[in-house]
Amino acid sequence: MKYYLETYGCQMNEADSEVVASILENSGLIRTEDPKEADIILVNSCAVRENAEKRALARLSQYKGYKKDPEVMLGLLGCVPARKQDQLLEKYPFIDIIMGPDSYRELKKVLSENQYPISNTELSNQELYDNIEPKRQEGLNAWISIMRGCNQFCSYCIVPFTRGRERSRPFESIINEAREIAYQSIPQITLLGQNVNAYKYKDYRFPDVLEGVAQVDEIRRIRFMSPHPKDFTDRMLEVMKKYDNICNHIHLPLQSGSSKILSAMNRTYTKEDYLELVNKIKSILPDIALTTDIIVGFPGETDEDFKDTLDVMDQVGFDNAFMFQYSPRPGTSAAKHLEDNIPYDTKNARLQKIIKKQHTATQKKNQELVGERIEVLIEGTSKKREDELVGRTESDKLVILKAGQGNIGEFMDVKIIGTAGVSLFGEIPAKSED
> Which of ligand F3S, ligand SAH, ligand SF4, none does residue 47 bind (CB under 5 to 8 Å by kind)?
ligand F3S
Using CB under 6 A as the binding rule, whether residue 9 contacts ligand F3S is answered as: yes
Per CB under 6 A, the list member of 84, 148, 163, 350 interacting with ligand F3S is 163
Q: Which stretch binds ligand F3S (CB under 6 A): 157-165, 174-182, 210-218, 284-292?
A: 157-165
Angstrom CA distances, 345 to 30, 341, 351, 396, stand at 47, 11, 10, 32
Within residues 297-336, the interface with ligand SAH by CB under 6 A covers 324, 326-327, 329
> Which of ligand F3S, ligand SAH, ligand SF4, none does residue 79 bind (CB under 5 to 8 Å by kind)?
ligand F3S
Quick note: the x/- pattern for ligand SAH over 132-161, rule CB under 6 A, is: ------------------------xx-x--
Residue pair 433/415 in contact by the 8 Å Cβ criterion: yes
Using CB under 6 A as the binding rule, whether residue 267 contacts ligand SAH is answered as: no
Quick note: the x/- pattern for ligand F3S over 189-218, rule CB under 6 A, is: ------------------------------
Residue pair 233/271 in contact by the 8 Å Cβ criterion: no
Q: Which stretch binds ligand F3S (CB under 6 A): 5-13, 171-179, 232-240, 370-378?
A: 5-13
Task: Read off φ and ψ for residue 416, nearest 5 degrees.
Answer: -80, 125
Per CB under 6 A, the list member of 51, 126, 130, 153 interacting with ligand SF4 is 153
Using CB under 6 A as the binding rule, whether residue 194 contacts ligand SF4 is answered as: yes
Cα 306 to Cα 194: distance, rounded to the nearest angstrom: 26
Complex with ligand F3S: residue 46 or 264, whichever CB lies closer: 46
Complex with ligand SF4: residue 195 or 309, whichever CB lies closer: 195
Per CB under 6 A, the list member of 119, 120, 194, 320 interacting with ligand SAH is 194
Pairing of strands 147-148, 373-381: unpaired
> Which residue type occupies 187?
P
Complex with ligand SAH: residue 179 or 230, whichever CB lies closer: 230
Using CB under 6 A as the binding rule, whether residue 225 contacts ligand SF4 is answered as: no
Using CB under 6 A as the binding rule, whether residue 49 contacts ligand SAH is answered as: yes
Angstrom CA distances, 11 to 21, 98, 257, 361, stand at 15, 21, 25, 25
Complex with ligand F3S: residue 12 or 239, whichever CB lies closer: 12
In the complex, what is the shortest distance from the CB of residue 255 to ligand SAH, in angstroms, rounded to a whole number? 6
Using CB under 6 A as the binding rule, whether residue 294 contacts ligand SF4 is answered as: no
Cα 129 to Cα 145: distance, rounded to the nearest angstrom: 9
Per CB under 6 A, the list member of 47, 123, 159, 186 interacting with ligand SF4 is 159
Using CB under 6 A as the binding rule, whether residue 13 contacts ligand F3S is answered as: yes
Per CB under 6 A, the list member of 141, 195, 197, 395 interacting with ligand SF4 is 195
| Residues of this chain that bind ligand SAH (CB under 6 A) | 48-49, 156-157, 159, 194-195, 226, 228, 253, 255, 293, 295, 324, 326-327, 329
| Residues of this chain that bind ligand F3S (CB under 6 A) | 9-10, 12-13, 46-48, 78-79, 158-159, 162-163
